[in-house]
Amino acid sequence: MNWPQLIITVITIGSILGVVTLALNLQYARGGMINFGIVAYFAAGAYAYAIATQPAPQGLDQYSFGFDWPWWAGFVAAGFAALVFAVVTGWPTLRLRGEYLALTTFAFAEVFHSFLINERRIGNGTVGLSNLERPVSDWGPIEEKYVFAAAAALLLLVTLIAFRRLLNSPYGRALDAIRDDEIAAAAVAKPVADMRRQVFLISAVPVGFAGALYAMFTTLAQPSLFTAEVTFVVWIALVLGGERPIYGVVLGTLGLVFFEEVVRAWPFETVRSAQIAASVEHVVTGLLFIAVLRLRPFDRISEQLKARA
C-alpha cells in the first residue's frame, strides 16, 4: 500500500470534511440546531465555485452560466453562496425545534439535490460540471497534491481557531444558555432568535469554502458527489469525535476518513476478495462505531489536549 499517498488523501479529504463537521458541531452542540441537510451548503459552495470559474457555455454544454473568474473569486463566491443558501433555508425553518428542523433541513438538501439534477441550465444535470479550474498548475518542485493538503489543513485550522475563539467568549456562553433554556436566556435579554440565526449563517460560510476546495480537488461538481451520504458521514464523524470538544470533532473526522481510505486503498489480489472486503467494510464500520462509542478515544484525547492547554 502507498502510505504517503494515503496520508496525503486523508489529510486533504479529512480536513475538508473536518470543516463541515466543525460547522455541524457549532450548530448542534452549541446552537442546539439539528441540521440534516449540511451537504446542501457544501454543494452550494462547490457549484458556486464551478459556475464562477468555468468558461461560458459552448458546443454541447447544457449549462447557461460560466463567468470565467479567477480561482480566488470563485472561492469567495462559494462562501457567499453557502451564506445565501443558509439565509434562504434558515429564514423559514429556524423557528422549528429538534427533529422538525432536522426533517426540514434534510428536505431542503434533497430538493436542492434534485434541482441540480433536473435543472440542467445550472449544473449540466447528472453529468455535472467537470474540468474545474485549479488555482495553479505549477508549484515548482512541490507537487500539487501537497499544496491541496496544506490548503485544506489551513482552512480547517482557520475555521477551528475562529470557532474556538467565538465559543470561548461570552458569545459562546450566551449560546450555551440559549440551548439550555431559551425562556431563561430571553429573561436576561439574550436575543434568542437572532443568535440562533447568526450561528446558522456563520457556520455555513466555511462549509461553502470547503465545498470550493473539494471542487478544486476533484475538478468536478456533480450531484452524485453531494448525496445525503455526505451528511451522514459528517454526522457520524461528529458522534465519533464527541459532540462537545472541538478537537475531538476534528480527530473523529480524520479517523473516519482514514478508515475509509485504508479500505479503499487496500491492494486486493482478486475481484472476489475485493467484493468480500466491500461487504466486510460495512460490518467492520459498525463494529468500529460500537468500539469508539464505548471507548470514546477521540473524546479523551481532546480532553487531555484541553487539560494541557
Partner 1 sequence: MNNNSSALLSVEHVSKRFAGLQAVGGDDGLTFAVDKGAFIGLIGPNGAGKSTTFNLLSGVLATDTGRVCFDGRDITAAQSHKCAACGIGRTFQTPRVFESLSVIDNVLVGADSAGERLLGALGRSWRVRESETIEQARLALERVGLGSYSDDPVTDLSGGELRMLEVARQLVREPKLLLLDEPTAGVHPGLQERLAELLLNLHRSGMTLLVVEHNLRFLLALADRVLVMSQGQLLAEGAPSEIRSNPAVISAYLGDDHAV
Task: List contacts with partner 1 (CB under 8 A).
Answer: 162, 165-166, 169-174, 176-177, 179-181, 183-192, 198, 202
Is the CB of residue 205 less than 8 Å from the CB of residue 155?
no
Rank residues 192 and 301 by Cβ distance to partner 1 and give the closer one. Answer: 192
CB of 207 to partner 1, least distance (A): 18
Is the CB of residue 195 less than 8 Å from the CB of residue 85?
no
Residues 254 and 151: their CA atoms lie apart, in Å, by 16
CB of 171 to partner 1, least distance (A): 4
- Over its C-alpha atoms, the chain yields an Rg (Å, rounded) of 20
Residue 169: alpha-carbon gap to chain centroid: 24
Rank residues 127 and 186 by Cβ distance to partner 1 and give the closer one. Answer: 186
CB of 161 to partner 1, least distance (A): 10
For residue 274, what are the contacts with CB-CB under 8 A and spacing of at least 6? 268
The residue with cell 457549532 is: 26
Coil, helix or strand at residue 220: strand
CB of 244 to partner 1, least distance (A): 9
| Alpha carbon separation from 115 to 4, 38, 109 (Å, rounded) | 39, 16, 10
Number of Cβ atoms within 10 Å of the Cβ of 35: 31
CB of 27 to partner 1, least distance (A): 15
CB of 159 to partner 1, least distance (A): 13
Rank residues 144 and 182 by Cβ distance to partner 1 and give the closer one. Answer: 182
Rank residues 30 and 113 by Cβ distance to partner 1 and give the closer one. Answer: 30
For the chain, how far is it from start to end, CA to CA, in angstroms? 36
Rank residues 107 and 166 by Cβ distance to partner 1 and give the closer one. Answer: 166
> In the chain, what is the greatest distance between 2 CA atoms, to the nearest angstrom?
66
Rank residues 150 and 186 by Cβ distance to partner 1 and give the closer one. Answer: 186
